[in-house]
Structure 1
Amino acid sequence: MPEGHTLYRLARDLAEAFGGRVVRASSPQGRFAADAALIDGTVLVGAESGGKHLFVEFADDRFVHVHLGLIGKWDVRRGPAPEPVGAVRLRLDNGTAYADLRGAILCDLVGRERRDEVMGRLGPDPLRPDADPERAWRRIQRSDRAIGDLIMDQEVLAGVGNVYRAEVLFRHRIDPLRAGRTLRRSQWQAIWDDLVALLAEGVRTGRIDTVRPEHTPEAMGRAARKDDHGGEVYVYRRTGQPCHVCGTTIRTKELKGRNLFWCPRCQPRFRSRARVGAA
């Protein structure tokens, strides 16, 4: 599933291609035809992302609300629009650029109230300048849920998916099954600051790279990663392979329907000091 940096880039690309201009809107597939007709020939005001949600604003407080889900894609292209190919749910076109939406699990035309309701439910997004990490910390510090579960909960922290979850917890040597309430405030702040930097880099490059300079293929003399997701990572989808840092075999385990990936040596099982003292 696309993570927050992908939606942020998409919002930026849509705003650059269509912002402040009249656009033609159509639904070649037909499933969005009635709503497309309501925004056809109106001004596209702008676009923004909140976590994995995208809102494209049109005149008169109308918003196209999109969630790409697992297979959704919105291609923004420059030049005259060709004949649509495949099941295009929504096409935007202004003569000099076009954008085709396919496969999204959600594509609705909503008003400002609904937009504000959805955005208000989301946790802080590391890519947004108005994000308040304290909102996430207040929920994490009192929760018995695993930190690996909490930071994937979009109402706790918006925009983080399975790749960034696995990688940021590895980078900070945190066991993904550790209860949120056992984290120290300084550990949460370090995780947040790292996510801000990692997602910003993802926006810049369009891919997820999380390894530090000393662990790149060039620095280690190893082969580059070959994976559909691209990017150099420490643990994500590396089950059974040696850790780049310590050589221990990377492990995986399902948590709430999604696979966790971690290094059992670099991310040791958490034991509270109180429990160790009692033992």
Structure 2
Amino acid sequence: MPEGHTLHRLARRHRELFVGAPVEVTSPQGRFAAEASRLDGRVLVAAEAHGKHLLHRYEAAPVVHIHLGLYGTFTEGARPAPEPVGQVRLRLVGGDHWTDLRGPNTCRLLDDHEVDALVDRLGPDPLRPDADPERAWARLSRSGRSVAALLLDQSVLAGAGNVYRAEVLFRHGVDPMTPGRLIDRELWEALWKDLVDLMADGVRTGRIDTVAEEHEPHRMGRPPRQDRHGGEVYVYRRDGQPCLVCGVEVRMRDLGGRKLYWCPSCQPER
């Protein structure tokens, strides 16, 4: 599932391409046709991300709420737009470009009250300037759930996914199974700041890189990581391989239906 930096990159791209002018809105697949007809020809006034949710705001119209889920993707190109290929739920055409949305978990219209309710259910997003980390700290510091589970709970913290969860805990030497209430304030502030920096870097580059310079492939004499997610990481999807820092085998376990990766030496049990 795309992590928060991907949604913020999409929002930024859609602002660059479409915001401020009328947009042709269609649903070649037909599943969003009635909704698209209400938006077609209107000015797109804003595109923004809240965690893993993308919101398109049109002039005098409901808001389009998109959640990509596991399989949702956007493709784009320069005009003229080609004939739709596959199950295109939503097509936007404006200015010099077009973009197609396929396979989202959610693509629907919301009124302002429904948007407010959606945002209110989400924890603070490290990539938003209006984020309040105190809200996440209040939830985390009272919880007996593991910090690993809490970091993936979008009502606690919005936008971080499995990669950022595993990597930020490794970078700070935190045992993933530590209860939230045992994370002290200083550590939480360090985790939050690191997430802000790492995820902002992800927005800039389009990939997740979390390793320090001394652990880059060219410094360690190792081949670059080969993974469809891209980026150099310490533990994510490296189970069975030696830790880049200590050499101990990286481990993996299931936690709440998601795979959790950690180094038992660099992240010892509390």
Are residue 162 (structure 1) and residue 162 (structure 2) matched? Answer: yes
1:175 aligns to what? 175
The 5 Å alignment of 1:122-201 reads 122-201=122-201
The 5 Å alignment of 1:1-279 reads 1-270=1-270
Asked if the contact 2:90/2:102 (under 8 Å) is kept, the reply is yes
Shift of 1:248: 0.2
Matches of 2:214 and 2:35, distance apart in 1: 51
Q: Which amino acid counterpart does residue 92 of structure 2 have in structure 1?
A: L
Where has structure 1 moved over 3 Å in runs of 4 or more?
none
Matches of 1:125 and 1:10, distance apart in 2: 16
Deviations 1:225-258 (A, max 9, x none): 0011110000000010000000000000101100
Shift of 1:116: 1.1
Structure 2, unmatched stretches of 5+, are none
Aligned length, in residue pairs: 270
Deviations 1:70-123 (A, max 9, x none): 110112333321111111000000251111000101000111111111111110
Matched residue SS, 1:189? helix
Matched residue SS, 2:223? coil
Asked if the contact 1:81/1:93 (under 8 Å) is kept, the reply is yes
Shift of 1:146: 0.2
Asked if the contact 2:38/2:61 (under 8 Å) is kept, the reply is no
Aligned-pair Cα RMSD in Å? 0.8
Matches of 1:116 and 1:60, distance apart in 2: 17
Q: Which amino acid counterpart does residue 65 of structure 1 have in structure 2?
A: H
Sequence identity (%): 60
Matched residue SS, 2:136? helix
Matched residue SS, 2:16? helix
Q: Which amino acid counterpart does residue 146 of structure 2 have in structure 1?
A: A
Asked if the contact 2:18/2:95 (under 8 Å) is kept, the reply is no
Matched residue SS, 1:37? helix
Matched residue SS, 2:138? helix
Deviations 1:5-34 (A, max 9, x none): 000000111111010100111111010000
User: Structure 1-normalised TM-score?
Assistant: 0.95
Matched residue SS, 2:2? coil
Asked if the contact 1:2/1:69 (under 8 Å) is kept, the reply is yes
Asked if the contact 1:14/1:76 (under 8 Å) is kept, the reply is no
User: Structure 2-normalised TM-score?
Assistant: 0.99
Matched residue SS, 2:24? strand
